[in-house]
Amino acid sequence: MKANPKDVRTGVFYIDGDVAAAEGALAAGCKFLGGYPITPSTEAAEAFARRAPQVGAMFIQMEDELGSIATVMGASLSGQKAMTITSGPGFSLMMETIGFGAMLEIPFVIINIQRSGPSTGLPTRTGQADMMQARWGSHGEYEVITLSPDSPQESFDFTIKAFNLAEKYRAPVMLMSDECVGHMTEKVEIPEADKIDLEPRRLYKGPKDKYIPFKPDKDLVPPMVKAGEGYRLYLSPLSHDQRGHPLLSQKSTTRRIVDKIRLNADDIIETKEDGLDDAEVVVVSYGITSRVAYRAIEQARKSGIKVGIFRLITVWPFPDKRITELAKRVKGFVVPEINYGQIVFEVERCVHGNANVVLVPHGGGWVHNPDDILGAIKQIMKAKKRYEGIFEYKTELEKLIFGSGVQKK
Amino acid sequence: MKFWRRPLDIDEIKIPKGEVHIIKDRCKGCGFCVEYCPKEVLEISEEFNKMGYHPPYVKNPDNCLNCQLCEMLCPDFAIYCIEKEEEGIIA
Amino acid sequence: MKNVKHPMDFYLRMDRMPHIWCTGCGIGLTATAFVAAMEKAKLDTNKVCVVSGIGCTGRFAGYIKLDSFHTTHGRAIPFATGLKLANPELKVVVVSGDGDLISIGGNHFIHAARRNIDMVVICVNNFIYAMTGGQVAPTTPLTAYTTTSPYGNFEPPSNIPQIAESSGAVYVARWTALHIRRLTNSIFEALNKPGFTVVEVISPCAQYYSRINRLGDGLDMMKFYHENSQIKHWEPTDNLYIDYQKEIIVGKFVDRERPTYSESYKKWLAE
Amino acid sequence: MKTNDKGVLTGTHNLSGNQACAEGALAAGCRFLSAYPIPPSIEVIERFTQRAKEVDAIFIQMEDEISVLAAVLGASWAGKKAMTVTSGPGLSLMMEHIGLGVMLETPCVIVNVQRCGPSEGIPNSPSQGDVMQARWGSHGDYEIIVIYPNSPQEMFTQTIEAFNLSEKYRTPVVILSDESLARMVEKVVIPPANKIILEPRKHYKGPKNKYLPFKYDKDLVPPMVNAGEGYKFHITGLTHDEKGYPVMNEECQELNVHRLVRKIRNYVDNITNIEEKNLSDAEIVVVSYGITSRTVDKALKQARKDGINVGSIRLITVWPFPDKEIMKLSKKVKAFIVPELNFGQILLEVQRCNYGNAKIRFVEYGHEEIQNSDPILNAIRSLTK
């Protein structure tokens, strides 16, 4: 399926990541945005609100984030592609309903323009500290898909991708952008509608009386119907059987909700590799940090260290296999993150003790200093032995505040 | 002041006199005090404070009756009145 | 400047001045009125707490030199509830904006009023979400423009005094930022009244609401209040909707007696 | 510091896990409970409210779980020891305020009686699906302490411990329980009040005008004062400096996050509480926690009879995760078995700390078979083949 030319604002624009995400959503055929203003994501909501009447989309600003995500659930079940846009504190409020969406397998997209936390933190500054929350934030067992853009162009592209994945797997998909990408203004090329591939909703095609809401196809994803087509749907967020009726047994659909992502992980996972053929050190990064990492890698290559970058485009599901594979032939992994260690734990898990793992932490607010990443790369080259646990690299900023002295976890 | 009839307590009533103090560097130049001063004591000045705003200055100090409306209407805690020590003028 | 002392400085965190509010904003005036009311009420300043949520008015707590708490968006009232119940000696004042108290915190507002928890709620209503850049608020009048209602607002706004009264508040008043002395008096009365008391302050937002709607600066808004506000005490609260650039009814609308939560709780336990 | 007598119901009782939790809280000096009814946590509220009058405690049922935790934080700053109880969906709603609690460094206890998820799931069934959520659920970077008892008796003692840890490290502490543990009735021995040791609030002692809300001591934990004591302090959920005033710069953010994370990470050894059994000669070690650990003993006995050297490690504090212990063990043993009532959460942590040394076998329990030790025994046997 191709995009509708009416929805796509073809051309070359000079816009920021937030606006690009809104344009991406519209191009993907998103017809509903339930939002609530929160810095630094408001630009996206504003852009959507301005364009909405032109393409027949609906924008509503709800009374809070709990309300806005709940409207998205309803809108999606009524047959429209729907999304919400928020930032850290709003994301925390949405946690309960994310579980609801996962349970009822509602396709929806959340754009989280991350800021520094915890709590109110620094509203106008960048952070990457919601990555684990995106995966584990709601109670119970479920799986999500997250994408992490590093430029306004990618904000546009990945938003479309997010909608496609949401429709394909009927799962919550999150675009984990950050303030830096959100407020960065760059050239964004919006292609023509017939160049944009969209995943149509998996609509049920059989006879009406035979429809079973949660009877999965071969890829474990069940087809959907819209509300108001005469199917007399009953959906319940209680554990349910294939008919959607409450079933008090863990052997209900819950297992499949997890499996449909885990077993299809190879199709979902997308990564970008650069210079890994001869690499001795691998920088694992995502989002805005990967842009900073490139600078460090350039410098390291200049000084003769063989460094490659492994960029996570889908952070969840995590590319376990590839990291394990790489670990067997490299000296170590450097993981720069704008937090005090989240994805680095995943890397450590997948390395299975075959290589060193160095975390370059950052409290948030700004991006890394490339020198710190370079320092961490050199640290791995220097290392004579395997570290016990993750080595937390002491950044210049930490030294400035707390004085030097090596701290190990 | 002129009265049609002389009030009985006119000898006891004193019209208070006030002295306006402006903390120039706190002012953000909203103009509320100038606009709502009932005796037109204040006016926006030409000078800049350290934040780049034009603070008011006391144009007619003798008019001030210490009503303190400017103090109440200042969002920036930049202006206040104190009662003058000297005796008020009897009408 | 350091030697000059404003008479209200005692109640302010002078190490944080100047505050973040823009030129012509009414939140500063609310602060002035609050401080004046505090001076008048002669309360033990050690026992007064100010709780704010998020937003422009959310910064209120940070400038008042009392025990002051800047909490999360919409949750100032439940936080204050905890403070009050755990230490009934405290006098708790919640100062927050319309979006914070009525939109995201609307549920808490209703229920705290229903329980009649002893607190003063000062709601600064500037018709817009200003901290995030001018989005539509639950109080934005019909037809007004905001960044998320670029074609004019078509959602009917909330009527804060009516919500407060119907939920059970014992004291409800509304003033504009211009009615500074009456506002001070209302806050003073609210501070002295046990129970859930609400004072709504109509405040100019010179940077967003009036800029987007081309209504001039803060002073122009004040002049507008001067010409268009009508004092009608005891007006039935269902008449208090605010239309775009139309008459604003201000005054004291509700003043009644109900047992507070703490009183009822004690009585209940004693039985 | 010793507890005051009224809260301690000294003697031997038959209590359910939930009731023991309420008794533990009262014994620890908790005098403020705010909650919203959600099964299977209601018995805690009921027990607490029944006893509230005699100990002069306050209970308020708020309008939702969001306000519940906000009220708890408020009460804690007013000087009371405060807690809340909830279950999965409620915990999800509390996430924003867990972040505020961490940022304001507010001592409080959150009891999460887990039920099957996601979403409404199965309200009256045990689950361990919120273990990762308890650690990672709120936005931003932080560390938190999570305790998971496995019997009503331990529910009592660990609730007291939770209050002690939260006062000591000035952080919210989460107690995980589950439907099965919550409703299991067992003997609970409540010691006399003078045998219960409580951690007092880390109260500021210096001169009044010198108080800075976030000026930390050597242990990275700042002393605290209560509202209404005349300190006129300000605290905010924004990134703040020592005075508690918001500051928007990189250094301050770094300082904040660094300290919030390090004040737990640096003391992992003091916080970690694990129970070890037969580890000296063990080749296979079962890593378990909470309700699933109760099935382990039987399996261990049977396996020992069969001549298999098995041991067990039980995590009483699930977070911070005992990295070092697992790492050390992984070099010694052949395999780990991780039984969980979910689809693999602590499994990931064990995998992480294993460093590829030992084999790992996951035992996935369904909630119907929680009393059954066969799955563990089968796993042990399959590993010896």
Token pair 């009662």: residue? B83
**D5-195 and D275-384 have identical folds:** yes
DSSP-derived letter for residue A369 is: P
D169 within 8 A of D220, measured Cβ to Cβ: no
Least confident of D67-76, D110-119, D281-290, D364-373: D364-373
| Chain B positions in Cβ-Cβ contact with residue C8 (cut-off 8 Å) | 77, 80
Average pLDDT over residues A384-391: 86
Q: Place B87 in a pLDDT band, splitting at 50, 70 and 90.
A: low
Residue C171 main-chain phi, psi, to 5 deg: -145, 125
CATH of domain D5-195: 3.40.50.970
Q: What is the pLDDT of residue B2?
A: 67
**Percent of chain D residues past pLDDT 70, beyond the cut:** 98
Of D127, D139, D261, the CB nearest to A140: D127
Residues D73-92: tens digit of each pLDDT: 999 999 999 999 999 999 99
Could you tell me which chain D residue has the CA closest to the CA of C267?
D53
Distance (Å) from the alpha carbon of B6 to chain C's nearest alpha carbon: 31
Residue A244 main-chain phi, psi, to 5 deg: 95, 5
D264 within 8 A of D169, measured Cβ to Cβ: yes
Q: Place D34 in a pLDDT band, splitting at 50, 70 and 90.
A: very high
Average pLDDT over residues A203-229: 90
Interface test with C, best of A33, A36, A68 (most C CBs within 10 A): A36
Mean pLDDT for chain D overall: 92
Do the chains C and B touch each other, judged by at least 3 C-beta pairs below 8 angstroms? yes
Residue C4 located in a structural domain: no
Q: What is the pLDDT of residue A106?
A: 94
Least confident of A234-248, C178-192, D188-202, D267-281: A234-248
A42 touching C, CB under 8 A? yes
Task: Output the domain CATH number for residue C254.
Answer: 3.40.50.970
Q: What is the pLDDT of residue A405?
A: 46
Please state which CATH class domain D275-384 belongs to.
alpha beta
Distance (Å) from the alpha carbon of B12 to chain C's nearest alpha carbon: 26
Which residues are CB-neighbours of C214 under 8 A, at least 6 positions away? none
Of C47, C61, C79, the CB nearest to D71: C79
- Ranges in chain C, pLDDT < 50: 1-2
**How far apart are the C-alpha atoms of D72 and D98, rounded to whole Å?**
11
A342 touching D, CB under 8 A? yes
Of D66, D119, D324, the CB nearest to A140: D119
Q: Where are the alpha helices (DSSP H) in D198-289?
A: 250-265, 268-271
Residue A176 main-chain phi, psi, to 5 deg: -90, 80
Domain ranges across chain D: 5-195, 275-384
Q: What is the pLDDT of residue A409?
A: 40
Q: What is the pLDDT of residue A233?
A: 84
Report whether pLDDT(D247) > 60: yes
Residues D167-181: tens digit of each pLDDT: 999 999 999 999 999
Residue C115 located in a structural domain: yes
Of D118, D238, D265, the CB nearest to A141: D118
Cβ distance D73 to C89 less than 8 Å, yes or no, reads no
| Chain A positions in Cβ-Cβ contact with residue D367 (cut-off 8 Å) | 249-250
Mean pLDDT for chain A overall: 91
Residue A156 main-chain phi, psi, to 5 deg: -65, -55
Cβ distance A39 to C132 less than 8 Å, yes or no, reads yes
Q: What is the pLDDT of residue B91?
A: 45
**How far apart are the C-alpha atoms of A342 and A118, rounded to whole Å?**
14
Residues D266-286: tens digit of each pLDDT: 999 999 999 999 999 999 999
**How far apart are the C-alpha atoms of A102 and A104, rounded to whole Å?**
6
Q: What is the pLDDT of residue B83?
A: 87
Residues A163-197: tens digit of each pLDDT: 999 999 999 999 999 999 999 999 999 999 999 99
| Chain A positions in Cβ-Cβ contact with residue C54 (cut-off 8 Å) | 120
Residue C3 located in a structural domain: no
**How far apart are the C-alpha atoms of C188 and C185, rounded to whole Å?**
5
Between chain B and chain C, how many beta carbons pairs sit less than 8 Å apart? 78
Q: Place A97 in a pLDDT band, splitting at 50, 70 and 90.
A: very high
**How far apart are the C-alpha atoms of A112 and A90, rounded to whole Å?**
9
| Chain C positions in Cβ-Cβ contact with residue A50 (cut-off 8 Å) | 150
Question: Could you list the residue range(s) of the whole structural domain that residue C90 is in?
Answer: 9-270
- Per the structure, how many domains does chain C have? 1
**A1-268 and A271-402 have identical folds:** yes
Domain ranges across chain A: 1-268, 271-402
At residue A282's C-alpha, the angle toward residues A294 and A408, to 5°, is 105
CATH architecture of A1-268: 3-Layer(aba) Sandwich (3.40)
Q: What is the pLDDT of residue A195?
A: 93
Q: What is the pLDDT of residue C1?
A: 45
CATH architecture of A271-402: 3-Layer(aba) Sandwich (3.40)
Residues D125-158: tens digit of each pLDDT: 889 999 999 999 999 999 999 999 999 999 999 9
Q: What is the pLDDT of residue A406?
A: 44
Q: Which domains does chain B have, with CATH numbers?
A: 19-83 (3.30.70.20)
Distances (CA, A) of D177 to A4, A135, D341: 51, 22, 12
Complex ipTM, two decimals? 0.89
Average pLDDT over residues D296-321: 92
Q: What is the pLDDT of residue A395?
A: 87
| Chain B positions in Cβ-Cβ contact with residue C7 (cut-off 8 Å) | 71, 80, 82
| Chain D positions in Cβ-Cβ contact with residue A130 (cut-off 8 Å) | 139-140
Average pLDDT over residues D155-165: 96
Q: What is the pLDDT of residue A12?
A: 96
A191 touching D, CB under 8 A? no
Q: What is the pLDDT of residue B86?
A: 62
Q: What share of chain A is helix, strand, coil (3-state, %, to 5)?
A: 40, 20, 40
pTM of the full structure: 0.91
Residue C204 located in a structural domain: yes
